[in-house]
Structure formats: C-alpha cells, structure tokens
Amino acid sequence: MDNSKCSTNWGGVFRCAGGFMAWVIGSGFATGQEVLQFFTSYGYESFIIVLINLVGFLLVGTAILTTGYEKREEADFEQLQYYCGRRLGTFYSWMIPVTLVPSMSVLISGAGATLNEYYGLNHYVGAALMAGAVLVTYFIGFNRLVKVLSFIGPSIIAFCLLVGVITVVRDFGNIGDVPAFEEALAVKQSAPNWVISAILYVSYNFLCGSVYYTQLGKTAGSLKEARLGAVIGALGLIAAIAVISTAILLNGGEAAALDIPNLYLAKKISWVLGAVFSVFLVLGIFSSCSAMMWIVCQKFSLKDPKKDRWIAAAISVGTFFLGLLSFGELIGAFYPFIGYCGLIYMIGVIKKKFTK
C-alpha cells in the first residue's frame, strides 16, 4: 500500500515538525543573535529576507525529509553523495562533524554562563551538567531524541512568539525610526548584502543539519507525514523569525549592541519573563547540542555500541574543555563560512528535487 495515501497520523506529523524546528532553534536562535545578524541588521530589507527563507526552507526541507523517507530501507544510503557526487559528498561528510565540535563547545560554555548568571551555579558545574545531559540523551537513541526535541522546539517557538508579538504591538510606532538604527545594525551584518545573507541562512542550516534531517525523514510513518512535518516545521520557524526580527528591529538602537537581544526584549516586558527566558535559552542549547552530538558520533562510530559510548563520552568531555570562543563572534564569523560552503549542497538538493 502507498503509505502517502493513508489517513494522516497528526501525532507523527507534529513530532516530525517539532524535530524539524529543534535543529534550527538552538541558542543562536533563542538568544536572537542569529536573527539579528542574518535578518534584522539589514533594516527594512529583513522582511524580504524572511520571504526568501520561507521559500528556501519549504523547498529544501521537504526535499531532504521526503528523500530520507524514500531511502529508509537503504542502510548504506549516503545522502551527501546522493546530492553532490562522490568526491564533494565525501568532503562534506567529514567537514560537517569537524565543524560541529567547536560549535558544541561554545554552546556548552554558554549554558554554564547562563546558569551562573541566573541561578548562581558555578560556571564550570553548569557547563558540565549540560555536557552530561547531552551525553545521556545520545545514549537513549535517535527516536527518543526526536521525541524530546519535538517538544522543546515548539515550546521555544511559542515563547519567542509571545515575547515578539507583545513587543511588536507595544513598539510598532517605532517603525518609522528604523533608518536611524541602520548604522548600529550594520555592524552585525553577516554578509555583504541582504540577498547573500538570505541564501546563507538557508544554506548553513541545511548543510549542517543534512544528516539529521535525512534521519528524521526516515523516522516518519509515511511520505505524507514527512512532507507535512517539513512544511509545518518550516512555517512555524519562519513565523517566529519574522516576529522576532521585527521586534528587534523596532528596538534596533538598544538591541543591536547586545549578545542576547531576546533577553532584553523579555526583560522590557517583565522581570519574570526574563527569568523564564533563561530556562528556554538552556533548552535551546540542549536541543542544538543533542542533535550535533548525534551527527558527530554517527560519523566516528565504530559500529560497536560499547566503543561508541566511549567515543561519545570523549566528545562530551572534549567539547566541555574547548569552550573558549566568544558566542557572538562565533556566530558572526563561523556560521556564514559554513553557509558559503553549503551553497553547492543546497543547489544539489534543489536540482535533484526538480530532476525527479
């Protein structure tokens, strides 16, 4: 029977959509720093960037998830080679996990700093707790990981939408003041112009998340479930980005200089809301690191469960000790670089989709 024609399992669709969102909603998204650099910093053009990303996420996201479902029975399926050819696919297969390791270390360090600032917990203890939680999550397996992340992703989206909507409604009168913020916002721009920034954001997220998204597609119950999960996940993400970007734009004079602009917006509404934000920030870090840990461990797997656990433990300890880079500087320099590297991959995905 063609599973795509069966009745829709909406529980599976929303699980898939939540898992889709969880990859993008890491600490960079939850803090607002990613949105500031790739969207808001371009002023009024940020609204066009949002539309380009809507098309990009719908197109590329559905292509990767549905391909994952269609190839679910092929144990040795290499999706990077499928889209980019053997040589470039092999290069990407090593580049992705290697670049994710320093990202994990910075996020884990950021978790320690957040727990220290809001709850007085020692920075190193907080970072160690995050590293340990990520390691334990890896041990429980990918399917259970998706169940956990599918809850965290929508929760962070809902919170960011709450803060964003309240801010937009309250400060919409500032929309005419945006030109006055342009100089402060321009410092945060991730690319030479808004067109390149729009493309890089799609490219960055799907190159780094390519293995994760393919595996997520394999866990879907049907082709329709994979497709709808990608569509709903993309729509939820872009809606949140649009609202958050607009909220930061309306407060561009103050928010542009901050590492965590979303915290500033939350505190402006209520001190309690700011405290709640810290919890969601830690959850965002956890969701990103857990997905990254799975990808890195998959690449270095020895196909022996006991040995793989030791490899995962070593990666967890190593990322804890490597947490030395500045969070804001990492996003500003590292993320666009990966975006440029992923342009060929993204073109390969789109070409394969239309060829099929």
Cβ–Cβ under 8 Å, residues 337 and 330: no
**Can you give the pLDDT at residue 65?**
94
**Can you give the pLDDT at residue 7?**
65
Distance of CA 103 to the CA centre of its chain: 12
Cβ–Cβ under 8 Å, residues 50 and 245: yes
Integer Cα distance of 182 and 246 in angstroms: 14
Q: At what angle do helices 86-119 and 210-218 cross, to 10 degrees?
A: 90
Assigned domain for 64 exists: yes
**Can you give the pLDDT at residue 3?**
47
Site of tokens 């990918």: 142
Domain encompassing residue 156: 11-101+143-264+327-355
Assigned domain for 228 exists: yes
Residue spans of the chain under pLDDT 70: 1-7, 26-28, 117-118, 323-335, 356
Assigned domain for 117 exists: no
What residue type is assigned to position 84 of the chain?
Answer: C
Site of tokens 């990254």: 292
What residue type is assigned to position 263 of the chain?
Answer: L
Assigned domain for 77 exists: yes
Q: How many domains does the chain have?
A: 1
Site of tokens 């990613």: 34
Assigned domain for 70 exists: yes
pTM score: 0.81
Assigned domain for 311 exists: no
Assigned domain for 279 exists: no
Structure tokens at 268: 């402006």
**Can you give the pLDDT at residue 306?**
83
Residue 78, classed as helix, strand or coil, is: coil
Assigned domain for 250 exists: yes
Dihedral angle of Cα 166, 156, 229, 150, to the nearest 10 degrees: -150
The pLDDT tens digits of the residues spanning 231-259 come to 999 999 999 999 999 999 999 888 887 77
